[in-house]
Amino acid sequence: MSPEEIVQLTRRDFLVSATRGAGGVALASLLGADGLLASPNPVPGAAPLRPHFQPRAKACIFLYMEGGVSQVDLFDPKPKLNELHGQKLPESMTRNVRFAFLQKDTAVLLGTPHRFRRCGRSGIEISEMLPNIGSCADEIAFIRSMHTEAFNHHPGELLMYTGSQLLGRPSIGSWIAYALGSETKNLPDYVVLTAGRVPSGGNTMFGAGFLPSRHAGVLFRNQGEAVLDLNNPPGITAEMRHRGLDALADLNRMRQKVVGDPEIASRIASYELAARMQVAAPELMDFSGESAATLDAYGVHRDGAGFHTSRGGGPETFSTFAKNCLLARRMVERGVRFVGIHHASWDHHNELDNDLAFNCRVTDQPVGALLKDLKQRGLLDDTLVVWASEFGRTPLGENRPGFSKVTGRDHHPFAFTTWMAGGGVRGGQVIGETDELGWGIAKDPVHVNDFHATQLHLFGLDHERLTYRFQSRDFRLTDVAGKVVTGLLA
């Protein structure tokens, strides 16, 4: 028996015992599935991991609207709020409540100038600022009763991405990639695309934390190389590279014969994969095969001229965000497990009317087009589309000292809206309810941990069983909480 066969055999024996313990399933994915590159020793051709139960979703497109989106202006109509516009909240409602900037003694309610329209057969009310997303309402489950305990951006974003407010935990994309591996041998498991202002927490938001680093989100870029260091350096032609890689593989194999370390096989495989990625990534980024109708539907050529925002993201954001949505579909088609699209900023402390309109113009058309495109291609059934932000915004206007007038809203963690579509989600429904001012939750609260538990569930993963042992604790995406929101499931 060769050393590789021996190790493979040993691992198989081991898996039998390991699956008894917590973390066994996750471990199996390391050794199997895409375990070709698993450290420390590869097991070529090992069986792929099975999810805990029948999955509904195979891929996820995670649309992250950073900054705290105003739910009362877009998704959660509150006629009473408009009625009481300019009045103070009863003191009982703000007692023991912390705000980032708002002075609660003098703050008054701020109604919305935007009208809501009933959409689709389901008749869900959505702001007229989002006509395209509204036209997909029958595919979408809106969660109006989201809540979080984080009320500053970075901790809130971390919670929404990683299930923990602490820096350094794995992102949900990394968890899913880790659990299920990849359907593609030419592209990373987890890809990240950004448009507008970049995430305030940096790339730690898409980090693998304590999970193996190959499950970290890989940033695909809009210009230059699709992936950092993808292209051969100047002066190195494809033929030269080919000759060099051949020699490299031969020499590595010679060494493996001497030292017997199966890790060398994994090194050789990693170079082969890198070479395939060099071909696959440019193909992915090349839209020449897309029809003019598709490009128009997403708005790839929109120039955004004449629109401005004070919160980062110039007119080019219109085109970048549209391209990212189209890229997301192309990635899902090619087997990428998790695509994160990051858009910022929705942190509308002031200039709410103008800046919210800008962001809606940037995002509404491409997101609507993405949902329709996925549906039309039969991909929506097993592609989960998630739309989220770290918290919502206050029904009170923000009267921060130093602001001459009230033109925005402060952070609001107590009640906000997110949504999901496709991938086994029952569309055309609203989960949860807020009180008549949109201040607190009246019915069926959904915590961020519940939100994550539900997403894992759609991937056939039990959030309590998907664990990773680190510093002698079995870590979960959902920490010690989380309930699957069964009403969301189709």
Partner 1 sequence: MRIFRIINSGLIAALTATAAVRADGVFDVAVRGQATAATGHWGFVAPVLPVPPRVKNIRWIRNPIDRFVLERLERDGVDPSPEADRPALLRRLCLDLTGLPPTPDQARTFLSDHRDGAYERLVDELLASPHFGERWGRHWLDLARYADTSGYQIDRVRPHAWLYRDWVIDSFNRDEPFDQFTLEQIAGDLLPQESQTKKLEPLIAAGLHRLTLMNHEDGVDAEEFRCKARVDRVDTTATVWLGLTIGCAECHNHKFDPISQREFYQLYAFFNNADEVDIPAPRPDDPARQEKERKQWDEAEAQLRAAFDSQRTNETRRAELKKQLARHRRSQPRPHDTAIMSFRESTNAPRARIHVRGDFLRPGDDVLAGTPAILHPLVPRGTRGADRLDLARWLVDPANPLTARVAVNQTWLHLFGRGLVSTSNDFGKRGEPPSHPALLDWLAVLFMTSTNASSMGPAPLPSLAWSRKSLIRLIVNSATYRQSSRLRPDLAETDPFNILLARQGRFRVESEIIRDLQLSCAGLLNEDVGGAPFRPFMPDDIRKLGTAGAFSWDNSTGSDLYRRGLYIFSQRTVPYPTAMTFDQADSCESCPQRERSTTPLQALTLMNHGLFAECARSLARRITAFPGRGPREKIGAAFQLCLSRSPSRGELNRLGQLFADELAASPAPSCSAAQEKAYAQIAQVLLNLDEFLTRE
Touching partner 1, residues 331-370 (CB under 8 A): 344-345
> Site residues for partner 1, window 311-330 (CB under 8 A)?
312
- Contact status, residue 179 vs residue 51, Cβ threshold 8 Å: yes
> Site residues for partner 1, window 442-471 (CB under 8 A)?
469-471
Q: Does residue 403 interact with partner 1 by CB under 8 A?
A: no
The least distance separating partner 1 from the CB of residue 194, rounded to whole angstroms, comes to 8
> Site residues for partner 1, window 112-171 (CB under 8 A)?
152-155, 166-168
The least distance separating partner 1 from the CB of residue 200, rounded to whole angstroms, comes to 4
> Site residues for partner 1, window 102-121 (CB under 8 A)?
none
Amino acid identity, position 103: Q
The least distance separating partner 1 from the CB of residue 248, rounded to whole angstroms, comes to 5
Query: Of 29, 194, 350, 418, which one interacts with partner 1 (CB under 8 A)?
Result: 194
Q: Does residue 224 interact with partner 1 by CB under 8 A?
A: yes
Q: Does residue 285 interact with partner 1 by CB under 8 A?
A: no
Q: Does residue 235 interact with partner 1 by CB under 8 A?
A: yes
Q: Give residue for tokens 């008054």.
A: 108
Query: Of 108, 230, 285, 442, which one interacts with partner 1 (CB under 8 A)?
Result: 230
For the record, the structure tokens of 300 come out as 């790839």
Stretch that binds partner 1, among 129-137, 249-257, 414-422, 454-462 (CB under 8 A): 249-257
The least distance separating partner 1 from the CB of residue 100, rounded to whole angstroms, comes to 3
Amino acid identity, position 80: K
For partner 1, give the closer residue by CB, 270 or 354.
270
Q: Does residue 255 interact with partner 1 by CB under 8 A?
A: yes
β-pairing, 190-196 vs 433-434, is unpaired
Give me the 65-94 binding string for partner 1, x by CB under 8 A, dash otherwise: ------------------------------
Q: Does residue 244 interact with partner 1 by CB under 8 A?
A: yes
Number of other CB atoms surrounding residue 426 within 10 Å: 15
DSSP 235-297: T--HHHHHHHHHHHHHHHHHHHHHH--THHHHHHHHHHHHHHHHHHHHHHH-GGGS-HHHHHH
Number of other CB atoms surrounding residue 95 within 10 Å: 8
DSSP helix/strand/coil, 102 = coil
* CA pair distance 313, 315, nearest whole angstrom: 7
150-185 burial code (b ≥16 CB/10 A, e <16): bbebbbbbbbbbbbbbeeebbbbbbbbbbbbbbbbe
Stretch that binds partner 1, among 77-85, 126-134, 274-282, 324-332 (CB under 8 A): 274-282
Amino acid identity, position 33: A
For the record, the structure tokens of 121 come out as 């057969």
> Site residues for partner 1, window 10-49 (CB under 8 A)?
10-11, 13-14, 16-18, 21, 23, 27, 30, 37-42
Q: Does residue 241 interact with partner 1 by CB under 8 A?
A: yes
